[in-house]
């Protein structure tokens, strides 16, 4: 790279495109003239003191260093002591980049450490909109990373959580995560690089913060990216299948090495047969022993649940870009028991096939190959009647993973290849040393009586809803609506029919990652509207139309007796209880009002967990209720307290690098058995264009990070398990419902395991019980 600093902070440099980054690594056809030079506008080159003042450090320190005559900025973030540590570029006046055309913010970053580092990157405008991405710095590396802020790729909805690389450049793109793609470029307030939930301190050397423009664009970056096996057609990578014979040979070799029984020293349920034996109840339960919480298996042996979640076909299909005449498609029923993304293939009926048409050329052009419906592999087509996000709101799907199972087992009979899939999957779990599955296991595993599992269900139906103001997946149920209780019972009854009182079922999860409220562990003050959005928004409703609002009115009138007393406490001016009952918008908050909002949130959450527990215990009296798996971004102390009153095990989804007291200090206050319901990491070298919510440079790095995370869980006295999400990589072009296209599987789309991750799991699983017990 021919790069040179200049005092006037403007440089013109020719960028070579001979080397493409590993995440694009292919010939780019249809690109523009690559000989055109680019303009790079320097913002900060750290050659003077003024540049340092524009970088704000949170929980860390920095110093200027000399590097062969060039001055750079070395930043150490104290992430071992703080949940959040960051450095932020923040000018005195907002940047106006609205006239830059297509451009990106770029930064040279050197990681001098012998470990990779995962970093969140956020661009924020003055209106509060955020554009969020992430990057992973390889160990002992130096590279330029760019944050695209304006360009054609930001204007198109592809149905992928992150797209293939469009710029032809040796620089490394920062991976899209979430937020607003096109923020207000006229008023850019800051660009922040932050570490969250990292268990070690980290040091970076940065230089040359600048704006760059693309010299060449791959106009076909979304064309013909998927081959016949569902793999990246434009990349080579370890584990890529090049022929049917190769797929079969790899499978046969693996099959010969799989075991059929638990590891030595394990009970038949994978409990610790060499450890203490407690009371055997015939079902899984919990007990605190020598200051540590444990699960206990049906035979009375101590049990720690380490496993893999989402072992099912429901999330293996991707939107193809085709659709049918809707009159032939059976529409959803409000009384359905299964959400759309948890349903299997659900293919369009044969009578609809003549109406098949291209509904999105963008999506249809992504596939180099799709079978016809008359082809043997046509049985792997499906249909989604609704999507969460994507290029289409509904449409045809295809499961390359399911097709690859038929190929490798050399049969087109679903009864045969799915039975072989289940057998192989359980054999793998036993061979890799896992003790159980996690959540979202296909019910066809429930009665195999070979491997412990968790059952699950969703409460869906035509009940009234509420809002937290930040409802990520869906609106929240009005839990005081009698219909919610009816639907909870229907859900539990269905789970009970599937489980059949089976002792191999560890417990039951109901619902997932609900938007209860946002509690920022790194903040020094409470964001009232984010934390207490449920009661704030509910108080704006009419009590005659909202059951929860009616309950809130009863609570408030019971406490304050008169509207005057409430006004004095809240510093409000409501003229009557009727005014409050009709709906009010709260904009200012004093301490008393915040305390009342906290109580109202607890009332809501306590009703939710009470109703669900009663439903679960009605139909599964012998099985543990595991809660709703809190997302770390979507829970509050009030909701945790409400859950702790009713659940048997607290559950949390936590996508960070590891476990530390910087976040998990509240476990001591609750003092209940708790479980990690989801975590994962992905890498850039799998052929997938989005490595995952937490990502690393290589598969070997994934293995090392896996060990770090799970050992942290094992060493925690309150945590009784950890469930990796998920068994199978996401489809290259995104799962049909919401576009997740992550390298987070233990196996890829061809059902080939990632060996470094498997080896790491074996190492951890062999040591679970001796490490946790200290023996």
Alpha carbon distance 492, 510 (integer Å)? 9
Mean pLDDT of all residues in 421-449 = 98
pLDDT of 508 > 80? The answer is yes
345 close to 313: Cβ distance less than 8 angstroms: yes
Mean pLDDT of all residues in 345-368 = 97
252: burial class by Cβ within 10 Å (0-12, 13-18, 19+)?
Answer: exposed
What is the per-residue DSSP string for 406-424? HHHTT---HHHHHHHHHHH
Alpha carbon distance 66, 45 (integer Å)? 12
Q: Residue 186 falls within a domain, yes or no?
A: yes
Closest by alpha carbon to 683, among 706, 651, 664? 706
Same domain for 31 and 156? yes
| Residue whose tokens read 């992550």 | 742
Q: Residue 433 falls within a domain, yes or no?
A: no
Lowest-confidence range among 25-34, 66-75, 695-704?
A: 25-34
Q: Residue 482 falls within a domain, yes or no?
A: no
pLDDT of 19 > 70? The answer is no
Q: Residue 102 falls within a domain, yes or no?
A: yes
Q: Residue 31: pLDDT band by 50, 70, 90 thresholds? A: very low
Q: What is the pLDDT of residue 26?
A: 33
Residues 6+ apart with CB under 8 A from 665: none
pLDDT of 467 > 70? The answer is yes
Alpha carbon distance 105, 149 (integer Å)? 7
Q: Which of 398, 418, 451 is the last residue of a domain?
A: 398
242 close to 250: Cβ distance less than 8 angstroms: no
60 close to 75: Cβ distance less than 8 angstroms: yes
CA distances to 154, 215, 437, 472, 486 from 104, rounded to whole Å, are 12, 12, 43, 28, 52
Q: Residue 47 falls within a domain, yes or no?
A: yes
422 close to 294: Cβ distance less than 8 angstroms: no
Query: Is cis: bond before 726, omega within 30 of 0?
Result: yes
Q: Residue 555 falls within a domain, yes or no?
A: no
Three-class HEC string of 188-208 = EEEEEEEEECCCCCEEEEEEE
Same domain for 52 and 194? yes
Q: What is the pLDDT of residue 603?
A: 98
Pairing between β-strand 505-510 and β-strand 624-625 as defined by DSSP bridges: parallel
Alpha carbon distance 261, 267 (integer Å)? 10
Q: How confident is the model over 636-690, as pLDDT tens digits?
A: 999 999 999 999 999 999 999 999 989 999 999 999 999 999 999 999 999 999 9
CA distances to 312, 438, 550, 744 from 446, rounded to whole Å, are 12, 12, 41, 24
Same domain for 207 and 322? no
Q: What is the pLDDT of residue 68?
A: 86
pLDDT of 261 > 70? The answer is yes
Q: How confident is the model over 387-419, as pLDDT tens digits?
A: 999 999 999 999 999 999 999 999 999 999 999
CA distances to 483, 500, 677 from 608, rounded to whole Å, are 13, 25, 19
Encoded tokens for 593: 């009002």
Q: Which of 379, 398, 417 is the last residue of a domain?
A: 398
Q: How confident is the model over 194-250, as pLDDT tens digits?
A: 999 999 999 999 999 999 999 999 999 999 999 999 999 999 998 999 999 999 999
Mean pLDDT of all residues in 515-532 = 88
Q: Which of 398, 415, 443 is the last residue of a domain?
A: 398
Same domain for 33 and 182? yes
427 close to 356: Cβ distance less than 8 angstroms: no
pLDDT of 3 > 50? The answer is no
Mean pLDDT of all residues in 160-165 = 95
Encoded tokens for 40: 């790079």
467 close to 476: Cβ distance less than 8 angstroms: yes
Alpha carbon distance 585, 562 (integer Å)? 20
Alpha carbon distance 243, 302 (integer Å)? 46
Q: Residue 545 falls within a domain, yes or no?
A: no
> In angstroms, how far apart are the furthest CA atoms of the chain?
80
In the chain, the number of structural domains is: 2
CATH number of the domain encompassing residue 56: 2.60.120.430
Terminal CA-to-CA distance of the chain, rounded, Å? 55
229 close to 732: Cβ distance less than 8 angstroms: no
Alpha carbon distance 79, 200 (integer Å)? 6
Task: Compute the residue count for the chain.
Answer: 775
7: burial class by Cβ within 10 Å (0-12, 13-18, 19+)?
Answer: exposed
Same domain for 76 and 196? yes
Closest by alpha carbon to 435, among 78, 769, 131? 769
Q: What is the pLDDT of residue 524?
A: 73
pLDDT of 15 > 60? The answer is no
Q: Residue 696 falls within a domain, yes or no?
A: no
Its domain, for residue 334, covers: 318-398
Alpha carbon distance 141, 696 (integer Å)? 13
Same domain for 17 and 141? yes
Alpha carbon distance 534, 597 (integer Å)? 9
Q: Residue 472: pLDDT band by 50, 70, 90 thresholds? A: confident
pLDDT of 471 > 90? The answer is no
Q: Residue 29: pLDDT band by 50, 70, 90 thresholds? A: very low
Q: Residue 526: pLDDT band by 50, 70, 90 thresholds? A: confident
Same domain for 190 and 60? yes
């Amino acid at each position: 790279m021919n790069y040179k600093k200049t005092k006037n902070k403007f440089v013109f440099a020719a960028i070579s495109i001979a080397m493409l980054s590993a995440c694009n690594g292919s010939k780019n056809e249809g690109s523009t003239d690559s000989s055109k030079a680019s303009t790079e506008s320097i913002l900060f080159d750290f050659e003077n003191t003024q540049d340092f003042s524009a970088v704000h450090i949170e929980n860390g320190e920095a110093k200027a260093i000399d590097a062969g005559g060039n001055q750079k900025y070395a930043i150490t973030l104290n992430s071992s002591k703080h949940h959040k540590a960051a450095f932020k570029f923040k000018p005195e006046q907002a940047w106006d980049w609205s006239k830059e055309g297509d451009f990106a913010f770029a930064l040279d970053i050197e990681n001098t450490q012998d470990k990779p580092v995962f970093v969140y990157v956020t661009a924020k405008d003055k209106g509060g909109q955020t554009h969020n991405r992430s990057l992973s710095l390889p160990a002992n590396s130096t590279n330029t990373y760019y944050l695209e802020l304006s360009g054609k790729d930001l204007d198109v909805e592809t149905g992928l959580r992150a797209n293939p690389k469009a710029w032809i450049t040796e620089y490394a793109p920062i991976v899209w995560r979430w937020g607003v793609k096109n923020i207000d470029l006229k008023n850019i307030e800051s660009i922040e690089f932050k570490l969250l939930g990292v268990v070690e301190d980290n040091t970076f050397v940065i230089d040359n913060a600048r704006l760059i423009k693309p010299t060449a664009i791959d106009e076909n970056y979304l064309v013909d990216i998927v081959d016949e096996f569902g793999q990246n057609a434009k990349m080579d990578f370890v584990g890529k299948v090049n022929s049917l014979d190769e797929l079969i040979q790899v499978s046969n070799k693996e099959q010969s090495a799989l075991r059929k029984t638990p590891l030595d020293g394990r009970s038949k349920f994978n409990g610790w047969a060499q450890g203490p034996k407690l009371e055997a109840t015939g079902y899984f339960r919990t007990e605190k022993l020598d200051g540590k919480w444990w699960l206990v298996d049906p035979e009375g042996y101590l049990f720690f649940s380490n496993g893999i979640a989402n072992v099912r076909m429901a999330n293996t299909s991707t939107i193809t870009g085709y659709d049918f005449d809707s009159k032939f498609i059976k529409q959803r029923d409000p009384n359905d028991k299964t959400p759309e993304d948890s349903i299997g293939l659900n293919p369009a009926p044969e009578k609809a096939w003549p109406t098949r048409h291209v509904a999105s050329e963008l999506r249809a052009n992504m596939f180099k190959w799709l079978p016809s419906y008359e082809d043997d592999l046509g049985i792997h087509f499906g249909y989604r009647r609704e999507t969460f996000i994507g290029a289409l709101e509904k449409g045809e799907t295809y499961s390359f993973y399911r097709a690859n199972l038929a190929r490798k087992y050399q049969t087109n009979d679903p009864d045969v290849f799915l039975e072989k899939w289940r057998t192989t999957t359980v054999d793998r779990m036993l061979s890799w040393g896992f003790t159980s599955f996690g959540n979202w296991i296909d019910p066809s595993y429930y009665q195999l009586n070979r491997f412990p599992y968790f059952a699950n269900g969703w409460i869906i139906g035509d009940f009234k809803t509420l809002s937290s103001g930040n409802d990520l997946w869906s609106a929240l149920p009005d839990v005081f609506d009698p219909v919610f209780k009816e639907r909870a019972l229907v859900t539990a009854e269905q789970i009970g029919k599937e489980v059949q009182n089976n002792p191999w079922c560890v417990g039951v999860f109901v619902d997932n990652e609900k938007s209860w409220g946002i509690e920022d562990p790194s903040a020094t003050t409470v964001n009232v509207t984010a934390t207490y959005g449920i009661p704030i928004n509910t108080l704006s409703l009419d009590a005659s139309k909202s059951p929860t609002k009616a309950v809130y009115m009863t609570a408030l009138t019971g406490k304050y007796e008169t509207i005057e007393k409430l006004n004095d406490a809240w510093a409000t001016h409501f003229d009557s209880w009727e005014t409050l009952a009709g709906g009010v918008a709260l904009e200012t908050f004093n301490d008393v009002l915040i305390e009342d909002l906290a109580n109202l949130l607890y009332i809501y959450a306590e009703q939710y967990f009470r109703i669900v527990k009663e439903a679960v215990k009605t139909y599964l009296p012998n099985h543990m209720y595991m809660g709703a798996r809190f997302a770390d971004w979507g829970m509050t102390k009030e909701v945790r307290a409400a859950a702790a009153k009713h659940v048997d095990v607290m559950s949390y989804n936590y996508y960070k690098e590891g476990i530390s007291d910087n976040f998990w200090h509240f476990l001591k206050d609750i003092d209940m058995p708790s479980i990690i319901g989801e975590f994962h990491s992905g890498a850039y070298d799998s052929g997938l264009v989005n490595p995952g919510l937490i990502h690393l440079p290589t598969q070997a790095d994934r293995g090392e990070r896996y060990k770090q995370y799970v050992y942290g869980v094992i060493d925690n006295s309150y945590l009784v398990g950890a469930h990796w999400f998920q068994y199978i990589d996401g489809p290259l072009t995104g799962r049909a419902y919401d576009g997740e296209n992550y390298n987070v599987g233990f196996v890829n789309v061809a059902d080939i395991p990632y060996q470094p991750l498997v080896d790491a799991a074996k190492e951890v699983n062999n040591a679970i019980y001796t490490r946790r017990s200290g023996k």
